[in-house]
Copies of this chain bind each other. A is one copy, B any other.
Amino acid sequence: MAPIAQTIPTTAGSPLTESSTLPFGEYLFRRLHQVHKVKSIFGVPGDFNLSLLEHLYKTDLEWIGGCNELNAGYTADGYSRYNNSLGVVITTYGVGELSCINAIAGAFAENVKVLHIVGVPSRMAIFDEQEKKKHLHHLVNNIDPFADSDRFVYTKMVEDITCVSEIVTDATTAADQVDHVIKEIFKTSRPGVIFLPVDMSDVPVEASRLTLDPADRFHIVEDQDPALTNKLSTVILEKLYKSTNPAILADVLVSRYHDGVPLLREFVDRANVHSYTTFMGKSILDECHPTFVGDYIGLESNKGVKENLEDSDLVLFFGPHLNEINTGHYSFDLQEGQLIMLHSDYIKIGSEVFRGVNFVNVLRQMLDIVDVSKIPGPRPVPFEVSPRYPHIPSSASISQSVLLKKFESFLRTGDVVVCETGSFMFGIPDFRFKTDVTYIAQGFYLSIGMALPCSVGVGIALRDEGSGRRLILVEGDGSAQMTIQEISAFPHYGLTPIIFLLNNSGYTVERIILGEERTYNDIKPWNWSKVFELFEFGNQGHCISKTIHNEDELERAMCEIDSNTSNLQFFEVILDKLDCPWRFHHMNNYRLFPLEKKIGLTLN
């Protein structure tokens, strides 16, 4: 039987019989391919992962190489954010995995489901007493020249920035380990790691699991405790029925669990109560829905938003991610008595905490049993909602205020907007998005340079699902310099995003904080409009670049965009280096005068 098992067909899509074995590398890719929406895999090769990568070609997965590992990590993050499923990045020992580590930390901070697979030395090199004396390339040696180098030195580094990590060295447990990592990633919506010795890829493992227990339901949130789910749904609905002025606040974790967004949108629609999103939760709810009031960011909200939400006698706070940025520097003034928090790890009703229950299941149950006639109908919000500072002047021909307004009206239903960390990002909460806009940004970890590769991942995800949605990227010049090379992925894969490059001569965010005219806030000037001379191979003319100096040019560019849908369109917009949205000025005052006396809502 063995010889037959070893000669099972292994070409793409070939059927597997129950008694088959197949090389672990192939097993791993087939398993990943079973996971919801996983069609592309990201990374950079290296001698410790080549034997694994070879097996990719036996599946229908596509390899998307990154220019470097940080970019590849950000790209996988974007793929995951858009799909709300796994984003897989593969790197090599040391040099690769460490180059990627900041993307992993960002995914951890923002609950993104990145699976990092790291090719490591062979089991012999790791475990054999003689071989352990060798100092291997890519592996830092010990500071003591007489000591062996620690094969697991990098493994330890990621303990606090991953939900799980497994070193796979045994064929009999390998498949279990893979499933364990994938499940933990979905459960926590945090990155996980598989460390794979280079000689493991060709080791035969049982294939049966692929057919008997496919991974195509791993993304579905399991109900750990249906009785508790039941009970809590009832309790929460009772509270809702009794409230006079309820509200729903949607935060980012809603978008991190399967069905979170459609279920919550449905609930808002049926319950018909006032709805709000947070800074990081932006676009989770339908902002054109009549219930929608605005973005609640504590003291950094628009006029009336904070007052209205905090006036509610019951706030159902879904998917909360309490942190400095998301809470307007801890200026959420919400009391336990008025608050129910529905998180992926717990439900908190007043001061009572119930752990081990995920909001998705509670929400689904609530939808099943809700009697909407008992929910108080929405009355007009007591405080008028209006822009806080409608216009901040600029010494350039285009101000960010004007750009923000034009950009808001330029957006349309179905757009996918990726926004870089930078000053412009802090204007976005003033937008009212049209229905079904998807907004993606790294609003808490705030690592600049992330958005460009992230948008490549989003672009690949759109392509993989055959979507015709517009992809729009807003980039700062300082941020773009961090990861610019990845822009070459767009023409390479035939993607046609619309890119706005905001050229304000450096790090405006930092200038506002300190050093307005300091050289440390300058960047090296580039000819932005020539970016595709280098990065689009062979002058195919697929990429169109323009520099925009004034409102007229901006207006015209935005009008003409749709006549060019088969082109990538890149607009360099010239802004003043000290111009930024009101919210960032505001935030910065908190920095100078921190709100120490009174810290708003915290959990810990």
A538 in contact (CB, < 8 A): yes
Residues in B neighbouring A161, C-beta threshold 8 A: 140, 153
Residues in B neighbouring A35, C-beta threshold 8 A: none
Q: How far is the CA of A337 from the CA of B481 in the complex (A)?
A: 55
Q: How far is the CA of A332 from the CA of B475 in the complex (A)?
A: 52
A524 in contact (CB, < 8 A): yes
Let me know if B524 and A533 touch, CB within 8 A.
Answer: no
Which residues of A290-348 have CB atoms within 8 Å of chain B's CB atoms? 322-325, 330, 343, 345-346
Q: How far is the CA of A537 from the CA of B519 in the complex (A)?
A: 17
A447 in contact (CB, < 8 A): yes
Q: How far is the CA of A578 from the CA of B346 in the complex (A)?
A: 56
Let me know if A537 and B533 touch, CB within 8 A.
Answer: no
CB distance from A109 to the nearest CB of B (A): 5
Residues in B neighbouring A45, C-beta threshold 8 A: 507, 510, 515, 520-521
Q: How far is the CA of A101 from the CA of B321 in the complex (A)?
A: 27
Let me know if A520 and B134 touch, CB within 8 A.
Answer: no
Let me know if A510 and B47 touch, CB within 8 A.
Answer: yes
Total interface residues on A, CB under 8 Å, equals: 107
A268 in contact (CB, < 8 A): no
CB distance from A111 to the nearest CB of B (A): 9
Let me know if B148 and A604 touch, CB within 8 A.
Answer: yes
Let me know if A538 and B527 touch, CB within 8 A.
Answer: yes
Q: How far is the CA of A150 from the CA of B484 in the complex (A)?
A: 32
Q: How far is the CA of A133 from the CA of B330 in the complex (A)?
A: 10
A65 in contact (CB, < 8 A): yes
Let me know if B56 and A520 touch, CB within 8 A.
Answer: yes
A482 in contact (CB, < 8 A): yes
Let me know if B137 and A325 touch, CB within 8 A.
Answer: yes
Query: Which stretch of A92-100, A238-246, A378-386 is in the interface?
Result: A92-100
Let me know if A520 and B65 touch, CB within 8 A.
Answer: yes
Of all chain B residues, the one with the shortest Cβ separation from A107 is B140
CB-CB nearest 9 A-B residue pairs: A135-B323, A98-B102, A95-B447, A68-B482, A525-B537, A50-B514, A533-B533, A67-B481, A530-B533
Of all chain B residues, the one with the shortest Cβ separation from A599 is B130
Q: How far is the CA of A446 from the CA of B140 in the complex (A)?
A: 11
Let me know if B99 and A95 touch, CB within 8 A.
Answer: no
Let me know if B445 and A94 touch, CB within 8 A.
Answer: yes
Let me know if A445 and B489 touch, CB within 8 A.
Answer: no
Let me know if B95 and A145 touch, CB within 8 A.
Answer: no
Let me know if A523 and B483 touch, CB within 8 A.
Answer: no
Q: Of the candidates B65, B148, B330, B535, which one forms a contact with A526 in the assembled complex, judged by CB atoms under 8 Å apart? A: B535
Q: How far is the CA of A322 from the CA of B136 in the complex (A)?
A: 10
Residues in B neighbouring A403, C-beta threshold 8 A: none
Of all chain B residues, the one with the shortest Cβ separation from A157 is B157
Residues in B neighbouring A163, C-beta threshold 8 A: 143
